[in-house]
A = this chain, B = another copy of it.
Amino acid sequence: MNRVASSTSPGARLTPDERRAELIDAVLRCIMRDGHLGLSVRTVCQEAGVSAGLLAHHFNGKEELIKEAYRKLTKDLFIQLLAILDEASEPVAQLRLYVDSFFRPPMLDKDYLKVWLGFWSLSQQKAEIATLRNEVNSKYVKILEQLITQSINRLDIPNVNARLAAFGLSALMDGLWLEWSLNPKSFSPEEANQICQCWVDSLIAGELKRIR
């Protein structure tokens, strides 16, 4: 059995935590390379440079590995976002940064779509995955809602429904991200950013009059 991607030598003993982390990294690499279709335990273990039987020793089956991988990825991306928001102190500037980071690497990588499609597909069958996704997504929307609330308070914009505005902006970003991932030739990331920033313009100008 030839190793492929791991940097440790074959047969090396790792801490359970270390090995679990390597398997999680491996499954994410596999999905980003091949998509979630055709993902097999053997492929993942080969990518991790370990024998196929090892997965059962560290995870309670393939599905749990995928779930943990989803946990890890969303956690990392969330930390990245918080770091980016930390670069500004004013809510409006933070809102701009939020949008901006969405359409730049490393956030904008068309291989991420494969990962998301895998999780979404699984969430249609496993309620636990669906619940996890809903929790993660609501965290993102809540941040948007907070930033919007703070922005309109500071700028004295009356009667804005921050919850709906947050869902709208979140959906606008997601929709543009999705379409770009499916077909990067349809528009440029800069254009997508422009469209979203335009929504923010209207929002902080008090022009989104029906959302209140």
Contact = CB atoms under 8 A, between A and B. Distances in A.
A123 B36 CA distance: 12
Contacts of A130: 182-183
A68 to B, nearest CB: 19
Given A207-B205, A211-B194, A36 B178 contact: no
A201 B194 contact: no
A142 to B, nearest CB: 11
Interface in A155-212: 164, 167-168, 170-176, 178-179, 182-183, 186-187, 191-192, 194-195, 197-199, 201-202, 205, 207-211
A171 B164 contact: no
Copies in the complex: 2
A125 interface: yes
Counting chain A residues whose Cβ lies within 8 A of the other chain, the interface size class is 35 or more
A201 B210 contact: yes
Given A113-B124, A210-B197, A178 B187 contact: no
Contacts of A191: 164, 167
B207 A186 contact: no
Contacts of A183: 130, 133-134, 137
Interface stretch (A1-9, A79-87, A114-122): A114-122
A43 interface: no
Given A164-B195, A191-B164, A123 B182 contact: yes
A195 B171 contact: yes
A3 B187 CA distance: 48
Interface in A49-102: none
A31 B38 CA distance: 18
Nearest to A180: B171
7 contacts: A37-B121, A37-B125, A114-B124, A164-B187, A168-B199, A199-B199, A202-B208
Listed from nearest, the 8 A-B pairs whose CB atoms lie closest are A171-B175, A175-B175, A198-B210, A174-B175, A168-B195, A171-B176, A207-B207, A35-B124
